[in-house]
C-alpha cells in the first residue's frame, strides 16, 4: 500500500471513530418509538391489535420494510435486536465516510488531500451545519434515511463514472428502503442524464436502457404489490386536503416545511451550499465537476418546487415526497466542493507548510466539535429511566389486547410497553392515508384538550400545549374519553387521585385499571 493510500485509510478510520465518539449512539429513541412497533406487530400479530393505524392502513408494513428486515436478522440468527441495530449503524457510518472519500477522489481528479479534508470535515458538518430539512448527515440512531445515504452517494459516484446500470440499481435500492430520497435521487440523476444525452455528451440507446430499465424493473413490482395488496389510494392533488394536511403538519412535524419553520441559520447554511454549487463549475470545468454540479442544481430545483407546493399551493403529493430531504445529499456535495477548492489553495503551499495546515485543521475540528454541548455517549441498550420502568410494568401487568390512554406528550410508551395506545403526539402515519391522518388529529386534539380550537403553534410549542391540555383534563373528561374508545387503562400524573385499582406507579405517573378492569 502506497503512503498516500495509507494516509487516506487512516483518515477514513479516524473520521469513523471521531463520528461515533461525537455523535454517540442510542437505541429506541426518536423515530424508533414510532417505527419499531410495526416490526414487533409483523412478527407477533397479537401485539397492537387495537392500534388504529394498523386497522386502517393496507398494506401497513410497506413503510416498515427496513425495520422488519433487521428484526428478521435478529430472530434468524438469535442476536439481540439492539446489537443488530448497533452493528448495522457502525457499518452505515463507515460506508458513508468511505463513499464521501471515493466521490471526493473522483471529483477532485484523484486529489487525496481534498478527499482527506472531506472526511475530516464530515463530523463537524453534521454537528454544526444544519440542513433546511432539519436532518443531520449522521444521527445517533439507525433510521432508514441514514441507512440509504451512503448508497445514494455511491449511486452518484457510479453515475459520474458512466456506470449507469450500477447507479440505477443503487437508486432503486434507495427507493425500496426510503422512497422519498430514492425518487428525489433518481429524478435528479435522470435530469442530468437527459441533459447529457440531449447535448450529445453521451449517446446510444443502450445507455438509455441501462439507466432507466434497472430502476423500473426493480421498483415496478413493489409499486404493483402496494397497488394490488389493498392500498386505498390517496388524494395526491387535492387542494382541499392539502390545506387540511398543512394544518396537521404545522402541528406535528413543521420540519417538513421550509418557509414556516426553517430559521435564518438553516437558510444561511443552505445558501452557503448553494454558493459552492454554483461557483464550483465556474472554477473547475472538468467532466466530473460539471456533472455533479448539475445534479446539485437539480436537487436545489426540487427543493424550490417542494416549498411552493407545500405552503404556497399545498398539494398532498409534495408533503409525501418531502422534497427538502434532497438537501442532505446536496450538503455532502457542497462539502466536497469546498474541500476540493481548499485543497487547491493548500496545494500552492510548500509541502511542510501544507502538512502543518492539515494538522491544524484536524486539531481545530476536534476542539470545536467536542465543545458542542450535549451527551454523546454510546448506549447499545436503552438506559433504565422512568419511561422504561413504567412501560415494563405495563407490559408485565396488562393483557396484550389492552388499549391504554396515556399522556400524548410521552413518546415511547407504545413501543416499550408493547400495548396499543389511543394516540401520541410522536406517532407516524400522517402521510400514509387521509383517513389515518384525520383520525390521528381527531384523537390527539381530544387528548390535548383542544377539540374546538385551531392551535397556531409549531412543534415544541404544540407539544407543550398538549402537556398542559392533557394534564388539565378533569376526571369526568378523561373517563368520557375512556368510555367512548372503550379503553382499559389510564395513565396520568400522580397528583390525579382516582378511585380505581392502581396497576403501576413510577416517580411521576400512575396507571389505573378502568372500565371492566376497574370494577
Summarised one tens digit per residue, pLDDT across range 56-93 is: 877 777 778 899 999 999 999 999 999 999 999 999 99
Is the Cα torsion angle 432, 435, 441, 443 positive or negative in sign? Answer: negative
Q: Note whether 452 and 312 are same-domain residues.
A: no
Query: Do 350 and 417 lie in a common domain?
Result: no
The total number of structural domains in the chain stands at 2
CB within 8 A of 362, min separation 6: which ones?
A: 120
Question: Looking at 98-102, 122-126, 261-265, 493-497, which range is the least confident one?
Answer: 261-265
The reply to whether 406 and 367 lie within a common domain is no
Q: Does residue 93 sit in the same domain as residue 190?
A: yes
CA dist., res. 330 & res. 295, Å (int) = 9
Q: Which residues does 481 contact at the CB level (< 8 Å), separation at least 6?
A: 405, 422, 446, 447, 473, 487
Residue 509: which pLDDT band, with cuts at 50, 70 and 90?
very high
> What average pLDDT does range 254-279 have in this prediction?
79
pLDDT at 519: 45
Q: Are residues 110 and 150 in the same domain?
A: yes
Neighbours of 448 (CB within 10 A): 26
**Average pLDDT, stretch 271-281?**
80
Q: Is the dihedral of CA 299, 147, 264, 318 positive or negative?
A: positive
Domain membership of residue 458 (yes or no) is: yes
392 and 361 within one domain: no
Residue 232 has pLDDT above 70, yes or no: no
Dihedral sign of CA atoms 155, 91, 87, 375 in order: negative
C-alpha distance across the termini of the chain, in Å: 75
350 and 393 belong to one structural domain: no
Do 291 and 409 reside in the same domain of the chain?
A: no
Residue 291 in this model has a pLDDT that exceeds 70: yes
Which 3 state secondary structure label does DSSP give 332?
helix
The residue with cell 422512497 is 179
Measure the CA angle with vertex 279, ends 276 and 285; round to 5°.
120
Confidence band, pLDDT 50/70/90 cuts, at residue 148: very high
Domain assignment present for residue 341? The answer is yes
Across the range 98-113, mean pLDDT stands at 92
Looking at residues 182-203, what average pLDDT do you find?
A: 91
Residue 423: CB atoms within 10 A of its CB come to 23
Q: Which of 193-207, 326-340, 355-369, 375-389 has the lowest mean pLDDT?
A: 375-389
The model's pTM is: 0.91
Looking at the structure, do residues 367 and 390 belong to the same domain, yes or no?
no
461 assigned to some structural domain: yes
Of 315, 339, 371, at which residue does a domain stop? 371
pLDDT computed for residue 255 by the predictor: 78
pLDDT of res. 373: 58
pLDDT confidence of residue 346: 84
Same domain for 336 and 460, yes or no, is no
Predicted pLDDT at 165: 95
**Residue 280 and residue 289: Cα distance in Å, rounded?**
7
In a domain, 49, yes or no: no
- Nearest Cα to Cα of residue 347 among 9, 113, 121: 113
Q: In this structure, is residue 51 part of a structural domain?
A: no
**Residue 342 near residue 270, CB atoms below 8 Å:** no
Q: What is the C-alpha separation between 260 and 241, in angstroms, rounded?
A: 19
Last residue of a domain, one of 346, 371, 396: 371
Q: What's the whole-number mean pLDDT along residues 287-311?
A: 87
Rounded to the nearest 10°, the torsion over CA 429, 431, 432, 434 is 100
pLDDT over 70 percentage in the chain: 93
pLDDT at 454 over 90: no
Pairing of strands 509-513, 489-493: antiparallel
The domain boundary residue, chosen from 325, 348, 371: 371
Residue 45 covered by a domain: no
Look-up: residue for cell 447554511?
A: 269
Q: What is the mean pLDDT of the chain?
A: 86
> What number is the average pLDDT over the span 273-296?
83
Domain that holds residue 466: 386-518
Q: Average pLDDT, stretch 28-55?
A: 90
* pLDDT for residue 229 is more than 90: no
**Tell me, what's the pLDDT at 513?**
92
Residue 198 lies in a domain: yes
Statement to judge: residues 413 and 323 lie in one domain:
no
267 and 400 share a domain? no
**Does 43 fall in a domain?**
no
Amino acid at each position: 500500500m502506497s503512503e498516500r493510500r495509507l494516509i487516506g485509510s487512516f483518515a477514513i478510520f479516524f473520521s469513523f471513530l471521531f463520528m461515533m465518539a461525537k455523535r454517540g449512539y442510542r437505541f429506541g429513541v426518536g423515530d424508533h418509538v414510532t417505527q419499531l412497533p410495526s416490526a414487533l406487530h409483523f412478527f407477533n400479530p397479537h401485539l397492537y391489535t387495537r392500534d388504529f393505524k394498523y386497522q386502517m392502513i393496507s398494506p401497513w408494513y410497506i413503510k416498515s420494510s427496513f425495520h422488519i428486515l433487521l428484526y428478521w436478522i435478529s430472530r434468524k440468527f438469535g442476536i439481540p435486536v439492539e446489537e443488530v441495530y448497533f452493528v448495522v449503524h457502525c457499518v452505515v457510518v463507515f460506508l458513508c465516510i468511505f463513499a464521501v472519500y471515493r466521490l471526493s477522489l473522483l471529483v477532485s481528479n484523484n486529489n487525496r488531500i481534498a478527499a482527506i479534508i472531506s472526511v475530516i470535515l464530515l463530523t463537524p458538518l453534521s454537528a454544526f451545519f444544519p440542513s433546511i430539512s432539519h436532518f443531520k448527515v449522521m444521527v445517533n440512531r439507525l433510521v432508514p434515511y441514514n441507512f440509504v445515504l451512503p448508497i445514494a452517494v455511491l449511486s452518484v459516484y457510479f453515475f459520474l463514472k458512466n456506470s449507469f446500470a450500477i447507479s440505477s440499481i443503487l437508486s432503486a435500492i434507495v427507493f425500496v428502503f426510503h422512497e422519498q430520497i430514492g425518487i428525489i435521487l433518481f429524478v435528479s440523476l435522470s435530469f442530468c442524464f437527459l441533459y447529457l444525452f440531449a447535448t450529445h455528451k453521451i449517446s446510444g440507446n443502450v445507455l438509455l436502457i441501462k439507466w432507466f430499465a434497472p430502476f423500473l424493473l426493480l421498483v415496478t413490482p413493489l409499486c404493483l404489490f402496494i397497488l394490488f395488496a389493498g392500498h386505498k389510494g390517496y388524494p395526491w392533488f387535492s387542494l382541499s386536503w392539502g390545506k387540511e394536511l398543512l394544518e396537521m403538519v404545522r402541528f406535528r412535524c413543521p420540519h417538513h416545511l421550509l418557509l414556516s419553520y426553517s430559521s435564518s441559520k438553516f437558510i444561511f447554511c443552505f445558501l452557503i451550499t448553494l454558493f459552492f454549487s454554483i461557483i464550483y463549475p465556474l472554477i473547475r470545468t472538468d467532466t466530473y465537476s460539471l456533472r455533479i454540479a448539475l445534479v446539485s442544481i437539480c436537487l436545489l430545483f426540487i427543493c424550490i418546487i417542494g416549498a411552493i407546493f407545500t405552503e404556497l399551493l399545498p398539494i398532498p403529493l409534495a408533503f409525501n415526497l418531502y422534497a427538502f430531504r434532497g438537501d442532505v445529499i446536496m450538503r455532502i456535495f457542497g462539502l466536497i466542493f469546498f474541500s476540493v477548492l481548499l485543497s487547491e489553495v493548500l496545494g500552492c503551499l510548500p509541502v511542510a507548510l501544507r502538512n502543518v495546515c492539515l494538522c491544524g485543521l484536524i486539531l481545530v475540528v476536534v476542539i470545536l466539535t467536542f465543545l458542542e454541548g450535549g451527551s454523546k455517549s454510546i448506549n447499545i441498550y436503552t438506559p433504565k429511566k422512568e419511561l422504561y420502568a413504567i412501560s415494563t410494568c405495563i407490559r408485565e401487568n396488562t393483557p396484550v389486547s389492552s388499549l391504554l390512554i396515556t399522556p400524548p406528550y410521552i413518546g415511547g410508551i407504545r413501543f416499550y410497553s408493547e400495548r396499543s395506545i389511543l394516540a401520541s403526539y410522536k406517532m407516524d402515519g400522517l402521510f400514509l392515508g387521509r383517513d389515518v391522518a384525520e383520525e390521528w388529529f381527531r384523537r390527539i386534539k381530544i387528548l390535548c384538550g383542544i377539540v374546538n380550537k385551531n392551535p397556531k403553534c409549531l412543534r415544541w410549542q404544540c407539544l407543550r400545549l398538549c402537556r398542559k391540555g392533557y394534564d388539565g383534563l378533569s376526571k369526568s373528561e378523561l373517563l368520557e374519553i375512556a368510555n367512548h374508545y372503550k379503553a382499559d387503562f389510564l395513565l396520568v400524573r400522580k397528583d390525579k387521585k382516582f378511585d380505581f385499582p392502581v396497576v403501576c406507579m413510577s416517580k411521576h405517573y400512575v396507571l389505573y385499571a378502568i372500565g371492566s378492569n376497574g370494577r
